[in-house]
Structure formats: C-alpha cells, structure tokens
Amino acid sequence: MRELDFPTDENVLVGTATADDAGVYKISDDLALIQTVDFFTPVVDDPYTFGQIAVANSLSDVYAMGGVPKTAMNIVGYPMATMGRGPLREMLAGGAAKLREASTVLLGGHSVEDAELKYGVSVTGFVHPERILCNQGLHGDDCLVLTKALGTGIVNTAIKGGLASAETIAEVSELMAALNRIAAQIIQQYEISACTDVTGFGLIGHLAEMIAGTGTGVKLVVEDIPFLREAYDFAAMGLVPVGAHNNRRFRENMVLAPQGFDPVLRDILYDPQTSGGLLFGCRQEDAEQIVMQLHNEGISHAAVIGTVVKTGKDEIQLIG
Amino acid sequence: MAKTIDACGLTCPAPVLLVKDAVEKGSGDLSVLVDNQASCENVERFLASRGYTVAVEEKDGVYTLNAEGKGVDEGVPGSEKSAKNISLDPNESQKVVVLIMADKMGHGDDELGAKLMVNYIKTLKELGPDLWQLIFVNSGVKLTIASSPVLDELKGYSDNGTIVLACGTCLEHFKLMEQKAVGSATNMLDIVMATQAADKVITLG
C-alpha cells in the first residue's frame, strides 16, 4: 500500500514507512505511545484457549517494541446466530485472563455479526522514546536469540486436518498462549540492538525484515533453532501451510543454504507462527546470561540461534 | 488404471487429507490434480513419505501428480490412535459403530436419561462381536472416566475387542483428560473414518 499517502506528523517515531511490529507516537520527551492491532480466525477448537492465544498474540507486538501494554479493546466478528452466546463468553474470558496476566486493562471493544469467528485486541502501551526496540539495527557480531519454538503453523494445519493428538494440541496451545512478557522484561536489562516477534512471515521472513537494506548478514546455526518435534513429523507428511510456501518464495533469494539442505527443516524456518517468540540481537558477551535467565523463568525453548556478520550484503546463511 | 483424485479448488491441508484417505484405503497408483504450487509440493511430499514415486506435470496452472508404487502406511505422527487401526477386513461380520453424544439418553428428565444411558450401554453386549467401535463425544466422554457408572462394562467391551474411543477435544473441554479410565483419546478424523468404514452407525445421546 506504499502508493497511498497516510497522514503523519513529527511525533510519529515509528509509523507505516517501516515494517515494524507496532506504531509509536511521542507524547513527551519521556513518554511514547505504542499502538497495535491484530485479530484472526480460530487456530484451536476450544474457545477459552483461542481467546488466550489471540490476546497473547496481540500483546506480543507491544513487547517486541520494548514497551509495556496498558489498555486494550476487544475486536470480535462472531456468528451469534449459529454459535450462541456460550463460546463467545468463554473466548472473551480466555482473552481477559491473558490481559490480567499482562496487567493490561480492557476499556471496551466492538463486535459485528460475521459468518466466520474472528477475535483479537487492539493494544496501547507505553515506552520511553529512547528505549524503543525497532526491528532494524542489528550490530555486527551480535548474537541472535529466539524465545519460542517454531512450528505452530504446521501443527495448526494438522489440527485443522484432525490429525493432531490431544496431547499435541495441548502442547502447542500452551506455547501459543504464553505471553512474551517475561522475555521482554529480561531483555530490558541488556543492550538489545533490534527486536521483533516471529509471526506470519516465519523466522526467515522476520529476520529478512530485520536486515533488509542494511547490508547485514546473518548466520543461523540450524541445529540450535528450537522447533516442535511434531511439526517436523507433520511437515514431513506434507502438512505445510500455504503461508510457509509463500514466505519461502518471497524470501528465498536472500537465503544461502548448504547443498541438500533438508526441505522439511527449511519449511519449518518459513512456517508462519501464531503468537511466536521474540527474536532479538544482543551483545555476544550477554547472550549466555540472557538465555540462562530465560530458562530460569520457564522459557525453556529460548536459544542463541545465530550471529550477525557485517558482510555488506543482506543475506541469511544457514549453517548445518 | 490409476485412481484420479481431483483436489483443485481445495487449500491445505485438504488435498493431503484426500490423498491420505485414498492411500490408506489401499489404492494403488494414483493421479492427483491440484491447482496451486503449495498443494502440489505438499501432496508430492506426502506421497513420497508413503513410498510412492511421483512425477509432476504442470499445464495451465493445474498440476498433475502421477504416483506409482506400493504405499507404505506409516500412520500419523503425533497421534497414537491413527486411522491405521480401522480394519477393513471384508471377512468380518457386520461392523457397528455406536456414537454416544451425551451422558444421558433423550430429553425430558436428566435423572431418567442418565439411568437409561447406563441401561443402554449394559445392554449393548447383545450386539456381540458386531460391536466394532464405541465412540464417546461431547458430554458422552463423561462415561469414560473413573467415576463412570458403566466403567466396568466399557472395560469389558474393550477387553473383548471393541475399540473404545473418547473425543480428545471433548475431554479437554470438560477438563477430564486426566480422569479418562477406559479407551483412547481420539480425533475427528478417526471418528469420520470410523463412521465411513462402518456397516452401521448408531447415534444416540
């Protein structure tokens, strides 16, 4: 939509010009507003769990900008005629539970009758204008850290096909419903060069946005990248969402893979994530400490997945 | 003559599921039509994972995958109860699936409905070996937990070879997954395939 002329002013710190996670608007020298909105169709059958996931996903954009979420508004498209009030109540209760966990208040919302259920929240947060974490700005020699396992898109495709076991559904639901709040708090204590959250474009797509046009290369150590074991099994039988194929076609010209690289693993790296983890760059000397702190807080998948190299070329190199 | 599966107009994961169904029904060579590259790659990978040799042709946006070979059924990963355990032996007697949708029989009085359901499940033994699968969905899953009034009967059916399944989503919904005391948790694909493969489906609740 670059041809459109959107209104802006000098207080817009992060706007539509860059593909960042949320917009940021300066209110004063020590306060800026973060705004974001996201909503989608159900990824799991249970309405309470879906409510949790939808809200965790929306809040994540504020965390990825280095901010603290403060207020939220529900956005609901709902087939009242066919589903009745029950599931709606459960879904909103799941969402409310996540907002409470994030110490974020609900100010209101809007719902429309819709043949297909959709839910999400718009979130407003605060950040100090000098503490904004943008998705670009990686330094050479930085370590890259990812805080959640990949593969939720593939597993959600298997759920859609009725092939995932109850245990797998429970595991992936817990992962998607987990807030990025603690991870965001931990990285506040360190010098973080750039940060985003991994969502629809997959790990490589979001990484590509972090380096596009900056002359920065990234080396990913593939065996260190966390992913769900079930996602590998399902991808190996062809349950790969269309989004992963689209992400690959869009970004594969930026990627250097060794010959004979496992195509199943490759698809996991492009798999669109629902409520994925934070992906950020930190100083090498801090990386181990950060990951240890994340593990201590129960963020068990967190791992250093690669390093940044100033090559002069926007390039993602897969090692492994 | 290869069996043709037309999956044009369908998006993931539907084409893979259609092909999976055909493979598991023991189809030999297959010819699969899809109309997008993503589905083409997914179906190709699925067929390869089941031991087929696949050749792809594209014409005017329609991909034809010609698959040759004897499929290898590896079951469904991440799901212990895969479609594998649906037997298609033609020598078996009649296969009856009983789909129990609630923990009570009929509407009107719940106390009465609960008693009737207990009585029904106890009387099901009259079906003998024809009772192939007993599937519990929605509040029916409450009959599979430790405090169920028909737990002994269900264990008896299970011991005698009846497949006892409880809907996993429903168990999760009622937060009863831990309390399930008989049978296996199942998913909608198993249920769909069981009702399709059955000679007779009795639904009640």
Spatial distance between the Cα atoms of B168 and B186, rounded to a whole number of angstroms: 5
Question: In the structure encoding, which two tokens stand for residue A34, read together?
Answer: 């973060």
Residue A9's identity, in one-letter code, is: D
> A201 and A284 share a domain?
yes
Domain end position, chosen among A77, A103, A131: A131
Q: Which range, of A170-184, B77-91, B101-115, B154-168, averages the lowest pLDDT?
A: B77-91
pLDDT of residue B1: 65
- CB within 8 Å of A31: residues ≥ 6 apart: A126, A128, A129
Q: Is B169 on the interface with A (CB under 8 A)?
A: yes
Contact B188 A157 (CB under 8 A): no
Q: Which residues of chain B form beta strands (DSSP E)?
A: 3-6, 30-34, 53-59, 62-68, 96-100, 131-136, 163-167, 184-186, 200-204
Give yes or no for residue B90 having a pLDDT over 50. Answer: no
> Closest-CA residue in chain B for A170?
B172
Contact A289, A199 (CB under 8 A): no
Contact A234 B78 (CB under 8 A): yes
Of B37, B177, B187, the CB nearest to A163: B187
**Domain locations in chain B as residue ranges:** 3-68, 83-204
Residues A315 and A237 in one domain: yes
Q: Which has more confidence, B203 or A285?
A: A285
Domain that residue A127 falls in:
12-131
Answer yes or no: do A162 and A255 share one domain: yes
Can the peptide bond before residue A87 be classed as cis, meaning omega within 30 degrees of 0?
no
Q: How big is the CA angle at A69 (ends A64 and A73), to the nearest 5 degrees?
A: 115
Quick: pLDDT tens for A294-309.
Answer: 999 999 999 999 999 9
Q: What is the pLDDT of residue B136?
A: 93
pLDDT (0 to 100) of residue B188: 83
User: CB distance A161–B189 less than 8 Å?
Assistant: yes
Q: What's residue A141's pLDDT?
A: 96
Residue corresponding to tokens 């589903």? A83
pLDDT tens digits along B190-200: 888 888 888 88
Q: Is B55 touching A (CB cutoff 8 A)?
A: no
Q: Does domain B3-68 have CATH number 3.10.20.30?
A: no
Q: Which residue of B has its CA nearest to A154?
A: B13
Q: Tell me which residue in B42, B44, B81 faces A239 most closely, judged by beta carbons.
A: B42
pTM above 0.90, yes or no: no
Using the beta-carbon criterion (under 8 Å), do A161 and B14 form an inter-chain contact?
A: yes
Closest partner residue to B16 among A167, A239, A244, by Cβ? A239
- For residue A4, tell me if it sits in a domain: no
- Are A279 and A195 within one domain? yes
Total structural domains in chain A?
Answer: 2
For residue A31, the cross-strand partners are A28
- CATH number for the domain spanning A24: value is 3.30.1330.10
Cβ atoms of A146 and A225 closer than 8 Å: yes
In percent, how much of chain B has pLDDT > 90? 35
- Same-domain check for residues A89 and A181: no
**Residue B185 Rama label (left phi>0; alpha psi -120 to 50; beta):** beta
Residue A25 CB coordination number (10 Å): 18
pLDDT digit string, tens, across residues A39-97: 999 999 999 999 999 999 999 999 999 999 999 999 999 999 999 999 999 999 999 99
Q: What is the pLDDT of residue B196?
A: 81
Q: Which of B11, B77, B190 sits opposite A234 (nearest CB)?
A: B77
The one-character DSSP state at A130 is G
Q: Yes or no: say if A245 and A272 are a contact pair by the CB < 8 Å rule.
A: no
- Asked if residue A150 has pLDDT above 90, the reply is yes
Are A114 and A224 contained in the same domain?
no
Residue B172 sits at the chain A interface (C-beta within 8 Å): yes
Q: How many CB atoms lie within 10 A of CB A235?
A: 30
Mutate to test the interface with B, among A229, A239, A264, A266 (most CBs of B within 10 A): A239
Beta strands in B91-170 (DSSP E): 96-100, 131-136, 163-167
Q: How confident is the model at residue A118 (pLDDT cuts 50, 70, 90)?
A: very high
Return the pLDDT at B77.
47
Which ipTM value was assigned to this complex?
0.79
pLDDT at A237 over 70: yes
* A300 and A235 fall within a common domain: yes
Whether B12 contacts chain A with CB within 8 A: yes
Q: Are residues A179 and A248 in the same domain?
A: yes
**In angstroms, how far is the first alpha carbon of chain A from the final one?**
37
Q: Is residue A240 domain-resident? A: yes
Among candidate residues A102, A131, A160, the one where a domain is terminated = A131
pLDDT digits (tens, 9 = 90+) for A271-289: 999 999 999 999 999 999 9
pLDDT on residue B177: 86
Report the run of H or E that residue A61 belongs to, with start and end.
helix A47-64
* Whether residues A149 and A78 fall in one domain: no
Strand-by-strand arrangement of the A118-127 sheet: A12-14, A23-28, A31-40, A118-127, A68-78, A105-113
Domain B83-204, CATH among 2.40.240.20, 1.20.120.350, 1.10.3720.10, 3.40.1260.10: 3.40.1260.10
Do residue A124 and residue A163 come from a single domain?
no
Q: What is the pLDDT of residue B78?
A: 40
Cα B131 from Cα B135, distance rounded (Å): 11
Pairing of strands A68-78, A118-127: antiparallel
Q: Is the pLDDT of residue B79 over 70?
A: no
Please identify, among A131, A164, A193, the residue that sits at the C-terminal boundary of a domain. Answer: A131
Residue identified by tokens 């950040």 is A127
